[in-house]
Structure 1
Amino acid sequence: MTKTLSLFELNSLVADVINTTMSRSYWVEAELSEVRENRGHCYMELIEKNENSNVPIARASAKCWSNIWSAIKPYFIRITGQQIRAGMKVMLQVHAQFHPQYGFSWIVDDINPEYTMGDMMRKRQEIIRQLKEEGVYDLQKELSLPLFAQRIAVISSATAAGYGDFCNQLENNELGLYFHVELFPAIMQGDNVESSIIASLNHINNREEEFDCVVIIRGGGATADLSGFDTLGLAENVANFPLPIITGIGHERDESILDMVSYQRVKTPTAAAAYLIDHLTSTLIRVESAQSTIIDYVKKALEIENMRIKHIGAQIPVLFSIVRTKQEARLESLFQCLFTASKELMKQSDFLLLSLQQRVQPAVRGRLSSEHHRLDVLEHRARLLDPTLLLKRGYSITLHNGKAIHNANDLKIGDTITTLLEIGQIESKVEKLS
Structure 2
Amino acid sequence: MPQALSLYELNSLVRETIETTLRGEYWVEAELSEYRENRGHCYMELIQKDDNSAMLLARAAAKCWRSTWQTIKPYFIRVTGQELHAGMKVMLKVYPQFHEQYGFSWIVTDINPEFTLGDMARKRQEIIRQLKEEGVFDLQKDLRIPMFAQRIAVISSATAAGYGDFCNQLADNSLHLIFHTELFASTMQGEHVEESVIAALNKINDRADDFDVVVIIRGGGGTSDFSGFDTLALAENVANFPLPIITGIGHDRDECILDMVSNTRVKTPTAAAAFLVDNLAATYDAVADAEKRIARCVSHSLDVEHMRLDRLVKQIPLLFSTVRAKEEMRLQRANISICSAATSTIKARGMELATLDRNLSNITAHTMETRHNRLKQLELQLRALDPARMLKYGYSITRINGKAVYDAATLKAGDTIETTLRTGTIKSTVK
Q: d(CA) in 2 for partners of 1:162 and 1:361?
A: 118
Q: 1:250 to 1:396 in 2, by over 3 A?
A: farther
* Aligned counterparts, 1:297-312, within 5 A: 297-312=297-312
Answer yes or no: is the 8 Å Cα contact 1:8–1:100 preserved in 2: yes
CA offset at residue 225 of structure 1? 1.6
Residue range with higher mean Cα deviation, 235-244 or 64-73: 64-73
Q: d(CA) in 2 for partners of 1:62 and 1:108?
A: 7
Matched residue of 1:45: which SS? strand
Q: d(CA) in 1 for partners of 2:28 and 2:119?
A: 14
The corresponding residue for 1:78 is 78
The corresponding residue for 1:252 is 252
Q: d(CA) in 1 for partners of 2:365 and 2:349?
A: 24
The corresponding residue for 1:412 is none
* Aligned counterparts, 1:85-124, within 5 A: 85-124=85-124
Q: d(CA) in 1 for partners of 2:309 and 2:258?
A: 64
Answer yes or no: is the 8 Å Cα contact 2:64–2:108 preserved in 1: yes
Q: Given residue 43 of structure 1, which amino acid in structure 2 is its aligned partner?
A: Y
Q: d(CA) in 1 for partners of 2:112 and 2:285?
A: 53
Q: 1:20 to 1:294 in 2, by over 3 A?
A: same
Q: d(CA) in 2 for partners of 1:394 and 1:77?
A: 148
Answer yes or no: is the 8 Å Cα contact 1:155–1:186 preserved in 2: yes
Q: d(CA) in 1 for partners of 2:253 and 2:371?
A: 125
Q: 1:44 to 1:366 in 2, by over 3 A?
A: same
The corresponding residue for 1:347 is 347
Answer yes or no: is the 8 Å Cα contact 1:92–1:112 preserved in 2: yes
The corresponding residue for 2:330 is 330
Matched residue of 2:97: which SS? strand
Residue range with higher mean Cα deviation, 224-233 or 302-311: 302-311
Q: 1:275 to 1:375 in 2, by over 3 A?
A: farther
CA offset at residue 46 of structure 1? 1.1
The corresponding residue for 1:179 is 179
Matched residue of 2:87: which SS? coil
Q: d(CA) in 1 for partners of 2:181 and 2:372?
A: 103
Q: d(CA) in 2 for partners of 1:168 and 1:26?
A: 52
CA offset at residue 215 of structure 1? 1.6
Matched, 1:65 2:65: yes
CA offset at residue 366 of structure 1? 5.8
CA offset at residue 31 of structure 1? 1.3
Deviations 1:219-252 (A, max 9, x none): 3455312111111222233223333211111233
Residue range with higher mean Cα deviation, 204-213 or 242-251: 204-213
Q: d(CA) in 2 for partners of 1:159 and 1:53?
A: 42
Matched residue of 2:327: which SS? helix
Residue range with higher mean Cα deviation, 13-22 or 261-270: 13-22
Matched residue of 1:86: which SS? coil
Matched residue of 2:291: which SS? helix
Matched residue of 1:137: which SS? coil
Answer yes or no: is the 8 Å Cα contact 2:244–2:263 preserved in 1: yes
The corresponding residue for 1:316 is 316
CA offset at residue 271 of structure 1? 1.8
CA offset at residue 364 of structure 1? 4.6
Q: d(CA) in 1 for partners of 2:355 and 2:180?
A: 93
Answer yes or no: is the 8 Å Cα contact 1:229–1:256 preserved in 2: yes
Q: Given residue 108 of structure 1, which amino acid in structure 2 is its aligned partner?
A: V
User: Where in structure 1 are there 5+ consecutive unaligned residues?
Assistant: 386-392, 399-434
The corresponding residue for 1:190 is 190
Deviations 1:23-66 (A, max 9, x none): 44332221112223344433211122334444333321112234
Q: Given residue 139 of structure 1, which amino acid in structure 2 is its aligned partner?
A: L
Answer yes or no: is the 8 Å Cα contact 1:32–1:46 preserved in 2: yes
Deviations 1:365-400 (A, max 9, x none): 66578779999979x99xx99xxxxxxx997759xx
Q: 1:192 to 1:361 in 2, by over 3 A?
A: farther
Matched residue of 1:285: which SS? helix
Identical aligned pairs, as a percentage?
61
The corresponding residue for 1:280 is 280
Answer yes or no: is the 8 Å Cα contact 1:223–1:250 preserved in 2: no
Matched residue of 1:91: which SS? strand
CA offset at residue 333 of structure 1? 0.7
Equivalent residues, number: 406
Q: d(CA) in 1 for partners of 2:128 and 2:199?
A: 22
CA offset at residue 277 of structure 1? 1.4
Matched residue of 2:188: which SS? coil
The corresponding residue for 2:236 is 236
User: Where in structure 2 are there 5+ consecutive unaligned residues?
Assistant: 387-396, 403-431
Q: Given residue 287 of structure 2, which amino acid in structure 1 is its aligned partner?
A: V
The corresponding residue for 1:294 is 294
Residue range with higher mean Cα deviation, 64-73 or 9-18: 64-73
Q: 1:364 to 1:156 in 2, by over 3 A?
A: farther
Q: d(CA) in 2 for partners of 1:112 and 1:372?
A: 145
CA offset at residue 21 of structure 1? 3.7
CA offset at residue 105 of structure 1? 1.0
Q: d(CA) in 2 for partners of 1:109 and 1:317?
A: 109
The corresponding residue for 1:46 is 46
Q: Given residue 4 of structure 1, which amino acid in structure 2 is its aligned partner?
A: A
Please, what is the CA RMSD of the aligned residues? 3.9
Q: 1:342 to 1:2 in 2, by over 3 A?
A: same
Matched residue of 1:152: which SS? strand
Deviations 1:199-224 (A, max 9, x none): 33344445444433222122345531
CA offset at residue 20 of structure 1? 3.6
Q: 1:362 to 1:32 in 2, by over 3 A?
A: same
Q: TM-score, normalised by structure 2?
A: 0.80
Answer yes or no: is the 8 Å Cα contact 2:150–2:212 preserved in 1: yes
Matched residue of 1:30: which SS? strand
The corresponding residue for 2:126 is 126
Q: d(CA) in 1 for partners of 2:250 and 2:28?
A: 34
CA offset at residue 69 of structure 1? 3.2
The corresponding residue for 2:418 is none
Answer yes or no: is the 8 Å Cα contact 2:85–2:191 preserved in 1: no
CA offset at residue 99 of structure 1? 0.7
Q: Given residue 19 of structure 1, which amino acid in structure 2 is its aligned partner?
A: E
CA offset at residue 106 of structure 1? 0.9
Q: d(CA) in 1 for partners of 2:203 and 2:360?
A: 96
Q: TM-score, normalised by structure 1?
A: 0.79
Matched, 1:267 2:267: yes
Matched residue of 1:303: which SS? helix
The corresponding residue for 1:151 is 151
